[in-house]
Structure 1
Amino acid sequence: MRGMNDLVRQAQMMHKKMGQLQEDLSGRTVEAQSGGGMVSVVATCAGDVTSVKIDKSVVDPEDVEMLQDLVLAAVGEALKQARELREAEMSKLTGGLKLPGII
């Protein structure tokens, strides 16, 4: 029975550490750029975009599609970086064990 109690205690400790890590990650940000830095996007590791900056020189009413592509590329890259950072931090905690619904 002692082994089972130890296992339950370890699971509770891991659950607590995961909660702390998720809280920490929600406040951490990543930044990605496109167009040589003309568009910059900041996102949290929780997947929220918190900032978009666009250089005036890239705003061309005759070429809105280019601006859309630059914004989309920067947002996509920021969210990818946030996801990769979140997965790497969680992997450290779980020892590389893939836990469904956690990462």
Structure 2
Amino acid sequence: MKDLLGMMSKVKEMQAKMEQLQQELEDTEVEGAAGGDMVKVTLTAKGALRKLFIDPTLLNPDEGEMLEDLIIAAHAEARARGERVIQEKTQALTAGLPIPPGLKLF
């Protein structure tokens, strides 16, 4: 019974840490860039778009398709960085806990 109480205590502690991590991920910003930094996208680590920068020289109607590709590439880079941040912070939080491999907490 003592082990069960200890385990419940650890679960509550983990819950509080996960809530704190959720807020931290909403506040953490990651940036992706493309076209030699002519397009930059800033996302939260959880994927919410915060900023979009487009170099004015790309605002040529004849370059629309290229601009679309650059925005997509910058977004993909920022998203990948956000996923790495989530993975690193989650690993640090759950270090030493018996969590099955491949279990996604976010």
Instruction: Tell me the matched-pair count.
Output: 103
Q: For 2:104 and 2:13, how far apart are their aligned partners in 1?
A: 18
Q: For 1:66 and 1:47, how far apart are their aligned partners in 2?
A: 23
Match of 1:83 in 2: 83
1:51 aligns with 2:54: no
Cα shift readout 1:55-100 (whole Å, capped 9, x = no counterpart): 0112221121100000000011111111110111011101174574
Using structure 2 for the length normalisation, give the TM-score. Answer: 0.89
Q: For 2:103 and 2:16, how far apart are their aligned partners in 1?
A: 17
Q: For 1:99 and 1:67, how far apart are their aligned partners in 2?
A: 36
Q: Please, which runs of 5 or more residues in structure 2 have no aligned partner?
A: none
Using structure 1 for the length normalisation, give the TM-score. Answer: 0.92
- CA shift, 1:46, in A, is 1.7
Amino acid in the other structure paired with 2:46? A
Amino acid in the other structure paired with 1:95? A
What's the secondary structure of 1:102's corresponding residue?
coil
Match of 1:3 in 2: 3
- CA shift, 1:101, in A, is 4.6
Query: What is the root-mean-square deviation of aligned Cα atoms in Å?
Result: 1.5
